[in-house]
Every structure is written in structure tokens, then in C-alpha cells.
A and B are shown apart, each in its own frame.
Chain A
């Protein structure tokens, strides 16, 4: 009800102008052990000289069991939790071929908070066949437990993005992107470590449970290239990406999508697939044991640092109603995606299969 009222208020408050948009949607993730419901609302006001874009998302997380031992939605998430995230971006266009944007994203849950300001610029070049972009984003995170534990894990990250999209011919666009990020997290737990996770360690003749502890900094870099081509009425998209970091995790990513308009472009059917693979962190072990004099300094129970392969395949349908009252377009959409992850180096070779469902309502003015 609250979401519906918010949507109606945004619809009523948005004056009719080309480019204005209000979107509401709900996404659901379920893998048998964990379920996430994520309703969201987003509004955009677009004028010649500026654009304002804001959104609000709620993640309602519930877990059937607490024995999985790894986190699901963030590195500091318990089962049965609520995450609120809000973002606002203001873009100004001092010239028709230049844009400057300033944004902020904040996220809060019972054991985690994040604040992330960002800035970015874009510029068109080469007779507006090329668009160059650069962006910077800082994030400041805190994670803690609620069990009277005084430990609070703080982290900051700084990310730089560069992008170049280029029209090659009347039906082809290519886009290249590069990103670099540095994280600093202190030595208490280290980067991306969870205060909820404990690692079994064999030391001498004893079995201990020690808190997860990662290196206190992490530097990462990533590249991607994307090709989009129009073949008749159909849009084809293919993307390749790769990444590496100072923890020795190397990953690559392949993604493809096809969008097919039908019934005079009222119906839009889409199919997409993705494959991902990454290596294990250098300090990940199948089992940890202490030496004669010391316990292992870095240890993790995080499956994402064990090396993995994963993929996803899904479909989406969208029906658009054009010129409905004051609306230029009213779109109703639904989607379903099957995800899978396998961890071939982990004992018992666990797998995690999940469904993602979503539905949305988009109103363009």
C-alpha cells in the first residue's frame, strides 16, 4: 500500500514533459535456503538542461535455515533482515554535448550501513558518433553484529570508471569500459570479511573456530567490450569482460542478449545468457591448519573466494500501451532467470541454483 501511494504521489507530482518517467517493480530471488523480495520505485525528471533521477529499494531477506554458513546478499547480512537503499543523481548539461552528474547512494540494514557519493562527466565527440565518460565513486561502509560484540568493521573504497561508446555504422555501436578500485578496510577483519563468519582451524591437536580475517586492502581492475547491432527489427548485444585483483582472483565474463519487437513494437521479447568464471584467492584453503608457532593469519569461509563458475539464462516480456491519457507509454513487464553457481575446489563441490523473478510497471510522460 505504501509503495502504491508513493507511486501515485510521484505520478501526480510529475509534470507532463518528454523524458519524464516513473517506474515501479518487484524482484524476487529464491535459492531454496534464502528468499529476497525487493520492491522498488524510481522517478526521472528530464529537461533540456538538467535531469534528476531518484530511487528507493527495499530488500526483505528471509532464510529458511541459518546453517548455510555464508552470507547471501551482502557481506554483513543475517537471515531475516531488511535493507533500505535510496539514491539520487542530478545531471546538468552546460552544453548539448556535455553533461556533469553528481549522485549519492545510501544503504542501511540492521548490521550494515553504506554511504557512496559519486561524480561523473560525459562528452560527445567525432560529430557525436562517440561518447566519452569518466566517473568517480567513493563508498564508506560499516558492518557490525548485534550480539553485544564491540567489533565494528569499517571500510572505504574509491572507484574510477572510464567509458567510450562509438557508433560504427547506422546499425552498429561498440562500447569499451575500464574500471579500477581500491579498498581500505583496516586490519581488524580485512576487506570484504564478515563479522558473522567463523573459520574452523586445526592447530596442534585442537579444533578452533576463528573469526574470518582477510588482507586489509584490495586493488582491482576490470575491462569490458560490448557490441550492439541491429539486424532488421532485432537488437543483438554481446559483451566480454575480465577482471583481476591483488588477492589473485582473476575472472572473466561473457554475456549475450537478443531483443525482438513484435506486434508493431507493442510486444518486446528478450532472451539473455551469461557465463562467469573466477579463480580462488591466494589465501583460500580447502582446510586451514596452524603451524608450530602461529595460526593462519588470513583465513576465509567465503565461498566467493574459493574459485567458482556460474551462469544465468533468462527471458523477459514487455507489453507497451502508447498514448494512454497523459502517458506517452505505459509498459508492463515480467521476467524469469535461472542462475547457477558451482564451486569445484570446495569439499563436497556445493552448487547453488536460484530463480530470479521480476515484474514492473513503467510510465513515460
Chain B
């Protein structure tokens, strides 16, 4: 993990003005959090298992 962090710090340079493609609506997923919440409620009832979904695809552009 430390090596990966070091590699990212050394090699990933994406300045803010190059991140516009990541801000597009098509890069949001899920597109509709309300619908995703309903689907998640249904699937958790059907499956009952834990899901890890804490990592949204942030664009770092706030």
C-alpha cells in the first residue's frame, strides 16, 4: 500500500484543468442515487450480504 501511494505521488500528475472529462455527468455512477438506494434495499433483502460501496468515483474537482 505504501509503495502504491509512493508510486501515485511520483507518477500521477493530473492538473485541475485536465479533469474536465471526469466532471461530466456520464462519469457519475450511479447516475441516480435515489434509484440506486431503492435497488440496494431490494438486493440487500434478497441477498443479506455486506457490500462495500464507500468509494465513489470522485473527480477531485470540488
Task: Please list the residues of chain A having a beta carbon within 8 angstroms of any beta carbon in chain B.
Answer: 23, 25, 27, 29, 38, 40, 42, 55, 57, 71-75, 96, 124, 126-131, 133, 135, 161-171, 173, 175-181, 192, 220-224, 226, 228, 230, 233-235, 237, 241, 243, 245, 249, 251, 253, 257, 259-261, 265, 268, 270, 276, 278, 302, 304-305, 308, 310, 312, 316, 318, 333, 335, 337, 339, 341, 352, 354, 356, 358, 360
Inter-chain contact total with CB atoms closer than 8 Å = 200
Assess whether A179 is in contact with B51, with CB atoms less than 8 Å apart. Answer: yes
Question: A245 to B49, alpha carbons, bound, how many Å?
Answer: 8
Assess whether A178 is in contact with B52, with CB atoms less than 8 Å apart. Answer: yes
A226/B26 contact (C-beta < 8 A), A40-B34, A168-B12, A259-B31 known: no
CB-CB < 8 A to B60: which residues of A? Answer: 124, 128-131, 167
From A126, A164, A171, A180, B12 is in contact (CB under 8 Å) with A126
Task: Please list the residues of chain B having a beta carbon within 8 angstroms of any beta carbon in chain A.
Answer: 5, 8-9, 12-14, 16, 18-19, 21-22, 24-32, 34-35, 37-39, 41-43, 45-62
Closest to A318 in B: B31
Assess whether A173 is in contact with B50, with CB atoms less than 8 Å apart. Answer: no
CB-CB < 8 A to B35: which residues of A? Answer: 25, 27, 316, 335, 358, 360
Main SS class of interface, B: loop
Question: A179 to B50, alpha carbons, bound, how many Å?
Answer: 8
Give chain A nearest CB distance to B46 CB in angstroms: 6
Assess whether B39 is in contact with A337, with CB atoms less than 8 Å apart. Answer: yes
CB-CB < 8 A to B32: which residues of A? Answer: 25, 316, 333, 335, 358, 360
**Subset of 7 A-B contacts with CB under 8 Å:** A165-B55, A177-B53, A222-B52, A224-B51, A233-B24, A235-B27, A276-B47
